[in-house]
Structure 1
Amino acid sequence: MNNFRKILFGALVSLLLSGSCLLLVFHYTRTENVFADVLAVSFRTLALSLVLVVASWLVDAWRLRVLASAMGRKIRFWDAFKITVMGSFMAGVTPFDTGGEPLKVYYLHREGLSIGESTAVVALSAFLHATSRLLLWVFVPVLMLLTGLKWQLNPVVGRTLSVGVIVYLFFLGLLVTVTIWPEFAEIVATFICRQRVFRRLIPQTAVDKVLEKVRISARDFRDGVRRVKARGAYAFLASVLSLAYWLLVVSVPVFLLRGLGSDLPYLQVFSVTMTVYLVMAYVPTPGASGGAEAGSALFFSSLLPARVLGVFVFLWRVVTYYVTLAVGGSVVALETISWSLGKIRSEKS
């Protein structure tokens, strides 16, 4: 019940922040009749955007299944899909997207993977997710140079981007460290447990159990990483799927802008979108709410007229975030109900 309340609270906070920031965007862009502007967008545009979002979920699920297969474990595609959308929902209602990975580890463990194997799958998935995002973003200036496209950054956008990149690289560095050197987690856990304040709060027997679990998980994680390295085809396919995921995600705003009458080149929208996602990665609010809306408006403000900007930010957020919350939340609810009913039946028998 407490977990349910935390999830519900996170969802309400994220929706409140998102809605409040959208109202501010509408105010500053002088968007007077949002619904009329939204209804003016063709059904085909909205449907295609939703298809791209669903396709990104399918690709993400495929990557999860490929990495599990690299561990020598088989999970059904439907189960991988459910884990993916549930993880996206939990990431969307927790600060820094921190709720997604633990949920994926839990459900992968329920599918027969060890805790270490589940952690390895999720960590490698996150590593490929982050590196492919950075790789595509770095590749953008090269493409723009070759095509002659230009994007002038105002001082505010430039400073925001600089801070976002620094924070992103810091956390990516930590992720790389844990992936290459799994024992790093054990070293950190041991250091924390040896602190005087920590030892006063938790009995030594409990500390020993925690450290033992960390050691076992680190060992299983190391073995999992080695299995993936030994099966290069799986690692290559997972990398390709990571790039495909981002190409699908980036295509959503392109089609939305086409539906709103904008003729911005694909590469220009691609570059700005990747920049927005790079900065959004470590916005500390649930699902990057508030920061996502403000960042989208800020980075696209120099490219779009005010009458288009507000509606575009609204549609982009609805299609990519609100729909994810609705679908992922529904799957989480159904899985929870199914688990509860199964537990009741087992207790009766």
Structure 2
Amino acid sequence: MSRAWWLLIALIGASLLPLLLGGRSMLDQLARFPLDSLLLMFGMILLCWLINAQKLRVLLAGRAGPLSQRQTVGIVMASEFAFYATPGGSGAPLTLMALLARRGMRPAQSSAIFAVDQLSDLLFFLSALLVVLGYTLSHSLSPNLESSLLLGALLLGGLLCAVILLARFQRRVIRANGRLLARLRVGPRRRLHWARKLLHFRDNIVISLKQPPRRLLLVFLLTSCHWTLRFSVLYLVLRAMGVELHWAWTFLVQLLSLAAGLATLLPGGAGGTELTSMALLGPLVGKSTAAAAILVWRVVTYYFYLVAGGPVFALMAGRPLLRRLIGLRAERS
């Protein structure tokens, strides 16, 4: 059986998990879910695409030539579709590089833009965890919530420190990488080729980070707006179902669930995200309510990205890139 069929089976199985865990009462709650709230959440995702498109335009700073708002939104939707349709989100940077290469950008430039974007995400999550932790400490919401937020902040802080150390000792890292490739019996030309790629990547990151402070601040503000909207979906789902749960809890549930989903290396974290969010949310709101909320949340923040982004990806990137991303081989008739 081809890899595409295995991935499709995994996606279907993941979507059925909430149905299996929630039981018949979950179906009753889904039937009563207000349509206007669902449409509002889809509108929030559309706004997220517009925000990310504007952030991409700021990061590009005209290096990809004139880009209309429609073209930038298309690049964002295609890249995010590739993120959710490929194991571990590995297709997102490849799709971004392929689409920007058509506009004359070198892979080192587009990959550096993707890296700066990910660094902005990391700074947001660390800042958000610290803000939410400060709020919970001042309001004494829950000792379990405080300890979980503190642990998450320490992990993200450690990751940020690792990135800073990597930048600080970049020359030693490049040399160590060369020695490692030599031990693996990689030829001198090949080692030189990879060293040049790393240097080009480093130089382009430096160029991206040397933009005016106002531009970098705008990138961070757009990142904050995007993730605040995304991480408010589960909170609004629960509110629409009549459940009063603090936003900080829903933020932590989503953050841990998405991290666990990425660790499964399945497209969109299928399976791992559902099981983790069910384990965290079930004791707080009840099994059937948690299952219904998780299903609606995943429809809005995962399956909608696939359904809406798929045609855009097909139009902008095409089937050959999709085959390359998911590791398919063209079958000969």
TM-score normalized with structure 1 length: 0.78
Q: Please report how far the alpha carbon of residue 275 of structure 1 lies from its aligned counterpart in structure 2 after TM superposition.
A: 4.0
Question: 1:169–1:211: structure 2 CA closer, same or farther, 3 Å change rule?
Answer: farther
Match of 1:195 among 183, 189, 202: 183
Which of 138, 141, 145 is equivalent to 2:130?
138
Match of 1:22 in 2: 18
Deviations 1:18-49 (A, max 9, x none): 135334432xxxx2154442121111110011
Q: Is 1:326 equivalent to 2:307 in the alignment?
A: yes
The alpha-carbon deviation at position 307 of structure 1 amounts to 2.9
Deviates further, 64-73 or 95-104:
64-73
> Closer, same or farther in 2 for the Cα pair 1:238/1:293, shift >3 Å?
same
Gaps of at least 5 residues in structure 2 are 322-333
| Corresponding position: 1:12 with 2:3 | no
Equivalent residue runs for 1:108-147 within 5 Å? 108-147=100-139
Could you say if the C-alpha distance between residues 146 and 267 of structure 1 is closer, same or farther in structure 2, counting changes exceeding 3 Å?
same
Alpha-carbon contact 1:71-1:227 (below 8 Å) kept: no
| Cα gap change, 1:183 to 1:218, in 2 (>3 Å) | farther
How far the C-alpha of 1:96 sits from its partner, in A, is: 2.2
Q: Which moved more, 1:258-267 or 1:288-297?
A: 258-267
More displaced, 227-236 or 124-133?
227-236
Matches within 5 A, 1:156-305: 175-176=163-164, 186-187=174-175, 189-196=177-184, 198-199=185-186, 204=187, 208=189, 211-212=192-193, 214-216=195-197, 218-219=199-200, 221-305=202-286
- Cα 1:38–1:179 change in 2 (3 A) is farther
CA contact (8 A) 1:168 1:278 kept: no
Match of 2:37 in 1: 45
Q: Does 1:80 align with 2:93?
A: no
Call closer, same or farther: CA 1:96–1:173 in 2, change over 3 Å: farther
Counterpart Cα distance in 2 of 1:10 and 1:186? 38
Once the two structures are superposed, what CA deviation does each residue of 1:128-152 show, in whole Å capped at 9, x if it has no partner? 1122122212321111122332263
Alpha-carbon contact 1:67-1:238 (below 8 Å) kept: yes
Is the alpha carbon distance of 1:287 and 1:337 closer, same or farther for their aligned partners in structure 2, counting shifts above 3 Å?
closer
- Residues 72, 97 of structure 1: alpha-carbon distance in 2 compared, 3 angstrom cutoff: closer
Whole-Å separation in 1 of the counterparts to 2:314 and 2:62: 30
Match of 1:345 in 2: none
> Does the residue aligned with 1:112 lie in a helix, a strand or coil?
coil
Asked if 1:308 corresponds to 2:294, the answer is no
Could you tell me how far apart the structure 2 residues matched to 1:280 and 1:183 are? 34
Give percent identity, aligned residues only. 21
Question: What is the aligned partner in structure 2 of residue 344 from structure 1?
Answer: none
Distance in 2 of aligned mates of 1:99 and 1:52: 24
Deviation, structure 1 residue 11: 4.3
> Where do 5+ consecutive residues of structure 1 fail to align?
341-349
Cα deviation per residue 1:220-270 (whole Å; 9 max; x = unaligned)? 541442343242221110011111111101111121111111122334433
Question: Corresponding residue for 1:57?
Answer: 49
Work out whether residues 94 and 287 of structure 1, in 8 Å CA contact, stay in contact via their aligned partners in 2.
yes
Tell me how far apart the structure 2 counterparts of residues 10 and 81 of structure 1 sit (CA, whole Å): 30
Query: CA RMSD for the aligned pairs?
Result: 3.3
SS in structure 1 at match of 2:88: coil
- Report if the CA contact (8 A) 1:68-1:74 is conserved: no
Alignment partner of 2:298 out of 317, 326, 348: 317
Structure 1 residues 227 and 129 mapped into 2: Cα distance closer, same or farther (>3 Å)?
closer
Q: 1:145 to 1:170 in 2, by over 3 A?
A: closer
Tell me, in whole angstroms, the C-alpha distance in 2 between the residues paired with 1:43 and 1:165.
36
Shift of 1:81: 1.6
Per-residue deviation, 1:294: 1.0
